[in-house]
Amino acid sequence: MDAAGLFRKDLLTEMFSLGLMGIEIPEQHGGQGGNFFQSVLAIEALASVDPSAAVIVDVQNTIANNILLRWGTERQKSKYLPRLATDTVASFALSEAGSGSDAFSLKTRATADGDNFRLTGRKMWITNAAEAGVFFLFANAAPEQGYRGITCFLIERDTSGFKVGKKEDKLGIRASSTCELILDDCVVPAANIVGELGKGYKIAIETLNEGRIAIGGQMTGLAQGALDQAIAYSKQRQQFNQPIANFQSVQFTLAEMATDVEAARLLVYNAARLREAGHPFVTEAAMAKLFASQIAETVASRAVEVFGGVGFTKDFPVEKLYRDAKIGRIYEGTSNMQKLAIAKGLLGKH
């Protein structure tokens, strides 16, 4: 899947059948009736094998499903939650070419037209876009009001004037699709506004704050996978008539890797626990994502070194995990944005 840059449809179907795509969706809507923490655990477990699979489950649960559960109308929930739980991938469309970290300088416009809105613009770097059947897309319906005009729209893939464009050829998580979206006089019913007109900023900020915990879980799982691979290989690789695991330098490397992974895991779990309990968690979520994304890159890199020359080839999975790790410090808020959030939280307490 990594080489082809495609996620297998049979695996996607299996993830739906296992309930992994609707963990928090109530049972009456076809979901598992689980909680946020369970979503994070599933993402972590999947990422230890393939971070691309993990991010598909991540966006579906902690972003898309979460938006609908918290902000959707009863009509929207009844219509879309059963689909999201059973067979329809969802996508979160906020970023644009000129609005990355400055996410709310977006240029996509929504103009009222009777009972509809006409949307025009382009979105970039949209995860799950190739597979998605529905999109939670943000556009500004009142540009003169700045971010207060930003509104979240629920858009069906086959909507006239809406098109999924170019798929990016990426360094890592290649099986997870990242595409541009093109809106050319796309007509969306006003009934498909999620939340209220002008509440898109609040929806996006609150959702991404929670999503960062899940990205921390993804990066922790990735690091655990790299560590597991390194431990297993160190017991098999023979040098100087003994396994390299017998050498203290390798043992110390593994010990440091394991300590970093456990520290990241505890940061992620603590942020998830606070969110689950209804306590303030934004600072802790930023800490979890910042640290977990850093150690994922470091641990994966050291795993490549434990493998030596073969670790630099595509014959072993540590090379892929190393490439996959890089995105953790970029998406759903760069490391610098996490540091700003942490500093803001700290200074606000004192």
CA–CA gap between residue 117 and residue 141 (Å, rounded):
9
User: Which residue matches tokens 């499903």?
Assistant: 65
User: Which residue matches tokens 């959030």?
Assistant: 341
Whether 131 is catalytic? no
Residue 243: HSE in the Cβ half-sphere, 13 Å Cα cutoff: 10
Of 82, 59, 85, the closest CA to residue 177 belongs to 59
CB atoms within 10 A of CB 223: 34
Residue 293: HSE in the Cβ half-sphere, 13 Å Cα cutoff: 25
Cα 32 to Cα 9, 70, 84, 113: the distances in Å are 22, 17, 12, 39
Tokens representing 101 are: 């970290």
DSSP type of residue 60: I
* Given the residues 96, 210, 319, 332, the one annotated as active site: 332
- Backbone torsions φ then ψ of 156, nearest 5 degrees: -80, 145
CB atoms within 10 A of CB 206: 15
CB atoms within 10 A of CB 274: 17
CB atoms within 10 A of CB 247: 14
Residues across the chain: 350
* Alpha-carbon Rg for the chain in angstroms: 21
- Backbone torsions φ then ψ of 113, nearest 5 degrees: -145, 85
CA–CA gap between residue 22 and residue 35 (Å, rounded):
10
Cα 277 to Cα 22, 36, 199, 274: the distances in Å are 21, 11, 25, 5
Tell me the catalytic residues: 332
